[in-house]
């Protein structure tokens, strides 16, 4: 099967400082991929870059193919049809991601009108149907509410309704539950999974929460300092992590039973993006570090249906 979206050698730099250092990632139609890593590793930047949503001072190179169509440097009209129409995106903080001066019904209807070409009245009706579908309580009345009158979870439902308006083939959810409390978090994740099944939509879930990804995704890519360091099916990755960074992340999860002890962590910090080590970016913190690690960044190599970027993991 051909991938829906295919990122190749995607690089982003802000004012010459690299943020993404070559991302290769395929998303198959209908699959759920998790993208994990700590803040600043480039998870969000990857998809903002793919959709051309980064500020102008960002330089983006490489290739982003959507079923064979190159999106990087595509004309604005092409990108506008892709955004929301084929690839939709929702964000971390739903309250500030919605326009404070427009009613939520209007904001959803705007997306409907753009992608389904419906006249005003029909677009509103469709917006109401979408709000019902994402489980907005009392949707008809809430159509006229402003974002500040809704809770965080309700606002995220509005964002999801808006994302569904264009019937996209891929939904990129950028930390969709980070700003929400735990019960709401579970509801939103369940909603995303349900909608994905119902619409046959692919999902990229960006998260720093391994539990969230394990529950929602089929495949997971671990990012570190602007690169993917390991990629595997969720079960395989959690059962036997191959990259030392992934091992460190899983090791940092507090055990649910056993005696209470200090939380485990990976020693050291992420390298400064403007002064990356010449070899593997994780080498300075890596317990398995050998001299060869400092020569060149290891490539993401595939073995038994999974991949990792580590000399020792092969």
- Describe the crossing of helices 120-133 and 104-116 by its angle, rounded to 10 degrees: 110
In the complex, the smallest distance separating the C-beta of residue 191 from other proteins, rounded to whole angstroms, is: 18
263 CB-contact burial (10 Å; exposed 0-12 / middle 13-18 / buried 19+): exposed
Contact criterion met (CB below 8 Å) for 49 and 58: yes
User: Which DSSP letter does residue 83 get?
Assistant: B
Taking the least distance from each CB to other proteins, the nearer of 48 and 309 is 48
Least spacing, CB of residue 66 vs other proteins, in Å: 14
The answer to whether the beta carbons of residues 154 and 135 sit under 8 Å apart is no
Q: Looking at beta carbons only, is 148 or 260 nearer to other proteins?
A: 148
Identify the sign of the CA torsion 275, 279, 285, 290: negative
Residues ≥6 apart with Cβ < 8 Å to 289: 283
Least distance from C-beta 111 to other proteins, angstroms?
Answer: 4
Q: Is the Cβ of residue 149 or residue 235 nearer to other proteins in the bound state?
A: 149
Nearer to other proteins, 98 or 139 (CB): 98
Question: Whose Cβ is closer to other proteins: residue 146's or residue 238's?
Answer: 146
Output the smallest distance, CB 186 to other proteins, in A: 24
**Binding footprint of other proteins on the chain (CB under 8 A):** 48, 51, 53, 57, 76, 80-85, 88-89, 91, 93, 96-102, 110-111, 114-115, 146, 148-149, 159, 162-163, 165-166
Task: List alpha helices for the chain, DSSP H.
Answer: 43-50, 76-82, 94-97, 104-116, 120-133, 139-142, 152-164, 182-199, 210-216, 234-239, 244-251
The least CB distance from residue 148 to other proteins, in Å, is 5
Nearer to other proteins, 88 or 212 (CB): 88
**Alpha-carbon distance 153 to 182, whole Å?**
10
Q: Rounded to whole angstroms, how far apart are CA atoms 302 and 92?
A: 32
Closest approach of other proteins to the CB of residue 266, in Å: 30
Under a CB-based contact definition with an 8 Å cutoff, are residues 5 and 89 in contact?
no
CB of residue 102 to other proteins, shortest distance in Å: 8
* Environment class of 139 (CB within 10 Å of its CB; exposed 0-12, middle 13-18, buried 19+): buried
Q: How far is the CB of 165 from other proteins (least distance, A)?
A: 7
* Nearer Cβ to other proteins (75/258): 75
CB 216 within 8 A of CB 32: yes
Nearer to other proteins, 66 or 98 (CB): 98
Measured CA to CA, the distance from residue 179 to residue 181 in angstroms comes to: 7
3 state SS for 40-54 = CCCHHHHHHHHCCCC
């Amino acid at each position: 099967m051909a991938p829906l979206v295919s990122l190749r050698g995607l690089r982003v730099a802000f004012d010459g400082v690299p943020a993404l250092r070559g991302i290769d990632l395929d998303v198959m139609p209908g699959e759920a991929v998790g993208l994990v890593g700590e803040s600043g590793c480039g998870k969000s930047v990857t998809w903002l870059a793919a959709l051309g949503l980064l500020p102008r001072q960002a330089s983006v190179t490489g290739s982003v193919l959507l079923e064979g169509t190159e999106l990087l440097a595509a004309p604005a009209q092409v990108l506008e049809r892709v955004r929301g129409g084929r690839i939709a995106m929702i964000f971390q903080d739903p309250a500030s991601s919605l326009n404070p001066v427009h009613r939520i019904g209007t904001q959803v209807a705007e997306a409907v009108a753009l992608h389904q070409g419906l006249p005003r009245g029909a677009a509103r009706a469709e917006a109401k149907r979408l709000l019902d579908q994402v489980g907005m309580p009392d949707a008809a009345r809430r159509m006229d509410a402003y974002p500040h009158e809704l809770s965080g979870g309700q606002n995220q439902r509005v964002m999801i309704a808006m994302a569904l308006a264009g019937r996209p083939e891929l939904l990129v959810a950028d930390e969709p539950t980070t700003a929400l409390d735990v019960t709401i978090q579970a509801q939103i994740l369940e909603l995303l999974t349900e909608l994905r099944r119902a619409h046959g939509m692919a999902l990229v879930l960006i998260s720093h929460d391994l539990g969230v990804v394990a529950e929602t995704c089929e495949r997971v890519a671990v990012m570190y300092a602007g690169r993917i360091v390991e990629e595997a099916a969720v079960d395989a990755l959690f059962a036997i992590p191959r990259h030392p960074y992934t091992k460190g992340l899983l090791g940092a999860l507090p055990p649910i039973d056993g005696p209470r002890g200090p939380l485990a962590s990976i020693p050291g910090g992420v390298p400064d993006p403007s002064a990356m080590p010449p070899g593997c970016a994780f080498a300075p913190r890596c317990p398995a570090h050998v001299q060869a690690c400092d020569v060149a960044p290891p490539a993401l190599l595939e073995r038994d249906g999974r991949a990792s970027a580590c000399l020792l993991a092969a």
